[in-house]
Amino acid sequence: MEGSFAVAEAAKLADADVIAAYPITPQTHIVERLAELVANGELDAEYIPVESEHSAMSACIGASAVGARTFTATAGQGLELMHEVLYIASSLRLPVIMAVANRALSAPLSVWGDHSDVMAVRDCGWVQIFAENGQQAFDLTLCAFRIGEHPQVLFPVMVHLDGFHLSHVVEPMSLLEKSQVEKFLPPYTHPFALDPDKPVTMGAFAGPSLYMEAKKAQDAALRSAKEVILQAWQEFGKISGRYYRAVEHYRSEDARVLLLTMGSFSETAMVAVDELREQGEKIGLIRLRLWRPFPFEEICQAVGDAEVLVVLDRCLSFGAHNGPVCSEVRAALYPQEKKPKVVGFIGGLGGRDISVKEFQQMVTRGLERAEKEIKEEVEIIGVRE
């Protein structure tokens, strides 16, 4: 089935209570399928067809605050419109689960996939996880409920799937049985759910004497959520046979040059690595799955003894030193004694594809840039002059 439908199935199996969503290409199939499921009684949920993404996230906050399992989906401009509300969800510790069909940001308008929408919400405090194919979109969405609602986490979770490449491509899938999901997902309870029997005040304002402490506590909580995430993926692996990790390795153990990708390009990169390996090159691939909280240790471990790390960013950060992923990976590796030379590429913007050949070109060119220590930090692959 299609990636979008798989995500909807995951929400259905999780028995979501409230879905408040606004349609936007390329996420429309998710919300349409969810509406269908509710209309047919296959999913017993309140479907709120809100009038904007800002209201979608606001309604999700309200629902989660009273103890309802909440799900929504968006993409590109929609993610930006709900920007300020995202911070509220994470700061009020409300585990809203959201699938994002990553889409390029206007202007010019582009409905096709890239990661610029994700990178614009890097700091919003949500747990952020990347899927590379439709199966993962399903699996990771299910895990997201388990992670976000966990009493030691209580953070909202975003599952990222590349727009069109994942949302609309059909592939064979293995779904879980309802009984398996019921074992995996305990019911959701918020410790301070709004209830007249236990009145609480949520969203009070903080003066300068309190704000920093609140944010520090929030950051510490998000970082320590990594443990629960890894554990949840282990549990999921036991049930489904599919294990997920914060950083996935592909033929990277003895690699001299490593590629690093995030999202659906990982699959193309894997083919490129296979071909290059056949030619005798010692190439490997690291696939970043957990984006927030950033897996510092896992990245440092994954690069091993590689000499060069070629990072692909699917987002152009205007006027910045390098792409966001490259910058963050560089920063993670900086304190290490031994680290590879990190070279950044930007590609795949606005839905443009990157071929296996282009990945191989990236490796060659990456080696060149690393050896020659070329001044120009960023290179955009696959673009006309």
Partner 1 sequence: MERFAIYVPRLLPQKEYFAPGHRACLGCGEALAVRLVCKALGRQVIVTNATGCIEIISSPLPYTSWRVPWIHSLFENTAATASGIEAGLKILTKKGKRAAKKVKVVAMAGDGGTSDIGLQALSGAWERGHDFLYLCFDNEAYMNTGIQRSSATPFGAFTTTSPAGKLSIGQTTWKKNMPAIAVAHDIPYVATACPSYPFDLIDKVNKAAAVTGPAYLHILSPCPTGWRYTPDLTIRLGRLAVETGIFPLYEVENGKYKLNFDFPRLRPVGDYLSLQGRFRHLPQEVIDQIQARVNAEYQKLKKKAA
Partner 2 sequence: MEIGCVVTSPGNATQYRTGDWRSQRPIWNYDRCIKCGICYIFCPEGCVNLNPEGDFAADLYYCKGCGICARECWTQAITMVEEE
Site of interaction with partner 1 (CB under 8 A): 17-18, 20, 44-46, 48-52, 54-56, 58-68, 70, 84-85, 88, 92, 187, 194-196, 198-207, 210
* 85 vs 343 by CB, closer to partner 1: 85
Shortest separation between residue 82's beta carbon and partner 1, angstroms = 10
The correct pick among 109, 170, 217, 383 for binding partner 2 (CB under 8 A) is: 217
Structure token digits, residue 385 = 């002059």
Do 310 and 259 meet the contact criterion of CB atoms below 8 Å apart? yes
Tell me which amino acid residue 324 is.
P
Under the binding rule (CB under 8 A), the answer on residue 41 touching partner 2 is no
Give the one entry of partner 1, partner 2, none that residue 221 binds, where binding means its C-beta sits below a cut-off of 5 to 8 angstroms depending on kind.
Answer: partner 2
How far apart CA 180 and CA 174 sit, in angstroms, is 13
Q: How far apart are the first and last CA of the chain?
A: 39
195 lies in the binding site for partner 2 (CB under 8 A): no
Strands annotated E in 281-328: 283-288, 290-292, 308-313
The strand pair at 341-346 and 290-292 is best described as unpaired
**Contact call for residue 35 and partner 2 (CB under 8 A):** no
Choose the stretch contacting partner 2; rule: CB under 8 A; options: 86-94, 111-119, 330-338, 340-348: 86-94
Closest distance to partner 2 from the beta carbon of 198 (Å): 8
Q: Of the two residues 218 and 361, which places its CB atom closer to partner 2 in the complex?
A: 218
The burial class, CB within 10 Å (0-12 / 13-18 / 19+), for 318 is exposed
Among 66, 170, 214, 271, binds partner 2 (CB under 8 A): 214
Judged on CB neighbours under 10 Å (0-12, 13-18, 19+), 203 is exposed
Between 53 and 139, whose beta carbon lies closer to partner 1? 53
If one asks whether residue 94 binds partner 2 (CB under 8 A), the answer comes out as yes
Q: Of the two residues 69 and 314, which places its CB atom closer to partner 2 in the complex?
A: 69
Distance CA 228, CA 280 (A): 40
44: partner contacted, choices partner 2, partner 1, none (Cβ within 5-8 A by kind): partner 1
Assess contact for 263 and 271: CB atoms under 8 A. no
Comparing CB distances to partner 1, the nearer of 187 and 280 is 187
Q: Within positions 126 to 165, which residues make up the interface with partner 2, using CB under 8 A?
A: 154
If contact means CB under 5 to 8 A according to the sort of partner, which of partner 2, partner 1, none does residue 253 touch? none
Looking at the Cβ atoms of 86 and 346, the one nearer to partner 1 is 86
- Partner touching 119 among partner 2, partner 1, none, CB below 5 to 8 Å by kind: none
Tell me how far CA of residue 74 lies from CA of 41, 81, 250, 312, in angstroms.
23, 10, 30, 24
Decide whether 51 or 376 has the Cβ nearer to partner 1: 51
Interface region with partner 2, contact rule CB under 8 A, candidates 159-167, 170-178, 194-202, 320-328: 194-202
Q: Reading across the β-sheet that carries 341-346, which strands appear in turn?
A: 247-250, 283-288, 257-261, 308-313, 341-346, 378-380
When asked if residue 201 is in the footprint of partner 2 (CB under 8 A), the reply is yes
- DSSP assignment letter at 312: E
In eight-state DSSP terms, residue 186 is: P
Half-sphere exposure (Cβ direction) of 300: Cα atoms closer than 13 Å:
12
- Partner in contact with 305, chosen from partner 1, partner 2, none, beta carbon below 5 to 8 Å by kind: none
Comparing CB distances to partner 1, the nearer of 87 and 296 is: 87
170 φ/ψ angles, rounded to the nearest 5 degrees? -90, 135
Strand partners, 292: 128
206 cis-preceded (ω within 30 degrees of 0):
no
| Binding-site ranges for partner 2 (CB under 8 A) | 91-94, 154, 191-192, 198-204, 206, 210, 213-214, 217, 221
